[in-house]
Structure 1
Amino acid sequence: MGFTRYALSGAAVAALAVGGTTALAAPASAAPNTTPQKVCGSSYQTVNSAPIGSQGTVYLTYNSANGKNCVATIRTNPGTARDMGAWVYVPDTDEYAQDYGQFTSYAGPAYVYGKAHCVDWGGHIDNVYVYVTGSNCAALTEHRVTTIR
């Protein structure tokens, strides 16, 4: 099970890296006070986050009413459009969502149904990528990796 989960996670990460089945959205407008709740919706609570160097933060949120997770990558200093992405993957169900493109403030939202499942998630700004695997799994320990490409 562990190998399968990480192999599938690798496939999801690879799809993000090459822009696989990416749906390109119009650039988000700069919003200096953007929050995960403004991106994902007011009923989503932040359950985890990871810094993307000093450039911003990727947030994992959850809505207990509908069982969905949402991921958003938010820049520290909005401005000129830059390469950004946010993704979330549920290994147990193979459900994957991402938002990838040139954005001025944030990437996302990316939603999956994740109630009672571990999730893998992450985001990037320019060449700094953050990957979190095995997240929100009760007693299991998550694994975080930050890479610069």
Structure 2
Amino acid sequence: MAIERIFVRTRKLATLLAGAALATSTTLVVGAAPASAAGPCGSSYSRIGAYRIPEDGTRTGTLEVYYSSSTGRNCALTYGYGAYANTTSWKAVRISKGDGSGGQKNGGQFTYYAGPVYVSAPGQCIDVVGEVPAGVSLELNNVHCG
């Protein structure tokens, strides 16, 4: 009878330890997720604006603007929306300093988004343009001054 009790206790202890090990390994896997949680512009960027394209009328896209305080750079992307989301269609994005210099643009037949494009403009305003589809755009001048 005493041997049977020891065996039952040992089995309960083994089950308890196995459960604790599984919980710990699950926690480690879940804890590892933020390492891959970088945004579309990079891990140091935070979204500072999201704008509908066009500003009025039927929405066809979204212009997103990001900023990295560690690099002093802004980033922009244009996503399709509605009939233009997740389908190959014209998408374009442009970013520059508020005076029009130092910019980048990206446009073409994309499935998900145009960009990312970057500009270094610490302490300055920026201009951004998003377009989905061709001819339907949103232009923001001298925004996100910093």
Bin of the TM-score, shorter chain as denominator length: 0.5 to 0.7
Unaligned runs of 5+ in 1: 1-36, 139-149
TM-score (norm 2): 0.64
Residues 13-67 of structure 1, C-alpha deviation per residue, up to 9 Å, x if partnerless?
Answer: xxxxxxxxxxxxxxxxxxxxxxxx6321232111122101422210111011111
Q: Does 1:63 align with 2:71?
A: no
* Count of aligned positions: 102
* 2:96/2:119 contact within 8 Å kept: yes
Aligned equivalents of 1:52, 1:93: Cα separation in 2: 21
Residue 109, structure 1, aligned to residue 116, structure 2: yes
Partner residue in 1 for 2:81: 76
Aligned AA (1:96): G
Report if the CA contact (8 A) 1:39-1:108 is conserved.
no
Q: 1:124-135 residue pairs with structure 2 within 5 A?
A: 124-126=131-133, 127-135=135-143
2:65 is paired with a residue whose SS is: strand
What does residue 145 of structure 2 align with?
137
2:124 matches 1:123: no
Residue 19 of structure 1 aligns with which residue? Answer: none
Task: Please say which structure displays the higher CA radius of gyration.
Answer: 2
The equivalent residue for 1:52 is 53
Alignment-mate amino acid for residue 39 of structure 2:
K
Deviations 1:116-141 (A, max 9, x none): 01100011001310000010236xxx
From the two aligned structures, give the one with the greater helix fraction.
2
Determine the C-alpha separation between the residues in 2 that align with 1:59 and 1:79: 16
Q: Secondary structure at the match of 2:39?
A: helix
SS of 1:71's partner is strand
Residue type matched to 1:94 in 2? S
| In structure 1, distance between residues paired with 2:120 and 2:100 | 9
Gaps (5+ residues) in structure 2? 1-37
RMSD of aligned Cα (Å): 1.8
RCO comparison, higher one (Cα < 8 Å, 6+): 1
- SS of the residue corresponding to residue 40 of structure 2 reads helix
> Runs of 4+ in structure 1 displaced over 4 angstroms?
none
Identity of aligned residues (%): 30
